[in-house]
Structure 1
């Protein structure tokens, strides 16, 4: 499997979640299982079955996070010289040429994408249309509403 691009903040968030799962959530669910076992008959013990199910979710998420972090290629955009070119990790300010609406997006890895925080996946159609372009360029993006043209007004290297 190939490397997966990730910002410094994205890697830190995944590592924090992994730490939470390993140091707090896993021991708590183990204690819950032990307590439920003490109640007796496991066949009709809903607390036991719920705790075991939760343990399965936690262990699965731990494996998933460890796998993603093993493939991560962390890119610190603040250490890359600013050229005005759109690359992974930058924040791009755009103007919709049809509506004059201004928007800004940070181009991040798949796991970090959150449109409410103006973070879009590097694999999204708009990010793919922007990568490699420069400030002042106009690019067309195929959206559900049809082709939309955007002008790149600013590219910033933020952490």
Structure 2
């Protein structure tokens, strides 16, 4: 697995996502199926807002199940990298377009309860920073085609 495929997760984040997945495929599916059945009993499905809302909720739940399944199947679980190079799991302080920013290169799923902004290793900024060290300068191409300069100020392992 390379740095730009899969998702890096702490063991805590992996366990939290696994618990959410297990709940959704078990109790969650049973609950929404029961809700749909109850709404179906109310009559005409064409004009039954409760039924349509329950079906929409089921679709959202199934999308989250698929997302969690993919994350859990492709995840790399472990501690944040401790070397000087930026990798998934590194908290970076950088000057981006002249403005200092502090963010996690990794997954929103890991940063869950923190105030950190998150850029995945696959994002233009994250990909530009992978392998860089404090003091390095790089750039990335923004969606509008503009080249954005970045200077790495500090890098430290994510600690939750």
Q: Same fold (TM over 0.5)?
A: yes
- The aligned residue for residue 147 of structure 1 is 147
- Provide the C-alpha distance between the structure 2 equivalents of 1:136 and 1:60, rounded to a whole number of angstroms: 41
Secondary structure in 1 aligned to 2:24? helix
Q: Is 1:5–2:7 an aligned residue pair?
A: yes
**Match of residue 58 from structure 1:** 61
Alpha-carbon distance in 1 for matches of 2:128, 2:57:
41
Which residue in 1 is equivalent to 2:105?
107
- Unaligned runs of at least 5 residues, structure 2: none
Relative distance call for 1:154 and 1:60 in structure 2 (3 A) is: closer
Deviation at 1:148, TM superposition (A): 3.0
| CA distance, structure 2, for counterparts of residue 42 and residue 148 of structure 1 | 52
Return the TM-score normalized by structure 1.
0.72
Alignment RMSD? 3.3
Please name the residue that 2:118 is paired with: 119
> Over residues 65-100 of structure 1, what are the superposed CA-to-partner deviations in whole Å (9 max), with x where a residue is unaligned?
2233122222421xx4x332111110111124x63x
What TM-score results when the alignment is normalised by the length of structure 2? 0.72
Closer/same/farther in 2, CA of residues 117 and 52 from structure 1, 3 Å limit = same
Asked if the contact 1:122–1:128 (Cα under 8 Å) also holds between the matched residues in 2, the reply is yes
- 1:72 — aligned with what? 75
Computing the radius of gyration from Cα coordinates, the structure with the larger value is: 1
How many pairs are equivalent?
A: 153
Deviation at 1:53, TM superposition (A): 4.3
TM-superposed CA distance for 1:43, in Å, is 6.4
Q: 1:14 to 1:39 in 2, by over 3 A?
A: same
Q: Structure 1 stretch 2-11 or stretch 119-128: which is displaced more?
A: 2-11
Bigger shift: 2-11 or 124-133?
A: 2-11
Query: In structure 2, how many angstroms separate the alpha carbons of the residues matched to 1:58 and 1:137?
Result: 43
